[in-house]
Amino acid sequence: MKCPKKVFGTKCGALFGFQLCILFTFAGGTVLAYKRKLYGNTLPFLNVAITYFLVLICNLWRWDKSESKWWGYILVAIFIIGADCLNLLGYNKTSIASVMLLVSTEIFWVAPLSFLVFKRKINWIQFLAMILGAGGVALIIVAQGIKGSHLIGNIIAIGASIFYAIVNVTQEKIVKDDTIGLYLCRFSCAAAPLAAILSGSLEYKTIKEYKWEFWSIFFHVIYPIILAGYYMFMPIVLQYSNATVMILSFLTTNFYSLAIDMCLFGKPFSWLYLAGFLCIPVAVAIFVLCETK
């Protein structure tokens, strides 16, 4: 681990590492947006099943002994599948900017869950930040309309953020004492077959009738590689920094996604949407920076 420590062991190194992680999420989101534009369906369960199998294959050699119970990893796997699939489903209905932005509200859902599980309290500044974030979400929903696919996509993205929050708290509660390698092995070992079963049972007809050609196959290969790379690379960087720096760094993804939506996909955004778009990153930054030590 000397090489990663040399690269990511300093504050600047950690920030650089998180920007690389952002490239994974940004590239993955762009691939999904193109897939949806060209083929109309992202086949979420198939994509995540391939992702988890890749993570398992790449980390089998890191399988260590542990006294941790398997049920904890199975629980984490169920919530991760739910989060990842809802995230992908969101791209079927709304814009890349909206999905990435609304998923970033995960931190606000972690707060009440942490209070229930760990008895962690939030201060009044954080509470105001949550209200600001909720206001930003409301502005985005109103700006994109309360009818049609955009509303459904936005609700799905919020659902994904809730599932990611549950994953965050569950990981901290159940599997916090295990090594990164063991966590990746056990979580993917539980998640891969579950996702494959769901894909076979829920997407069989869609997969059979899907327009399989070079680009559709390419997108279904490259996205799992990107997501698997993110899952394996993120813990390496995070061990040399902390969640606060990570969350603040990831806010830049929202602005990248907005630029992609406007420049590559030619989507216009109203001033109401942009106001809501700015409210959420500001709210997340305030919430994280004002956390009670």
Q: What are phi and psi of 95, to 5 degrees?
A: -80, 160
Q: Which pLDDT value is given to residue 244?
A: 61
Of 97, 147, 131, 68, nearest to 273 by C-alpha is 97
pLDDT at 265: 65
Cβ–Cβ < 8 Å for 141, 157: no
Residue 242's pLDDT is what?
62
Q: What pLDDT does residue 104 have?
A: 79
pLDDT score for 1: 53
Cβ–Cβ under 8 Å, residues 122 and 81: no
Report pLDDT for 264. 65
Cα 261 to Cα 44: distance, rounded to the nearest angstrom: 21
Residue type, 143: A
User: Domain segments of the chain: what residues?
Assistant: 20-119+146-269
Q: What is the pTM of this model?
A: 0.81
Q: Per-residue pLDDT for the chain (293 aa), expressed as one digit of tens each?
A: 566 667 676 767 777 777 788 788 888 888 888 888 888 888 889 999 999 999 999 988 877 777 777 888 888 899 999 999 998 888 888 777 788 878 878 878 887 888 887 777 878 888 888 888 888 888 877 776 666 677 888 889 889 989 988 887 877 776 666 777 788 888 899 999 999 999 999 999 999 989 999 999 999 999 999 999 988 888 778 777 666 666 767 667 767 777 777 776 666 667 777 888 788 888 888 887 787 66
Residue identified by tokens 């708290």 is 169
Can you give the pLDDT at residue 181? 79
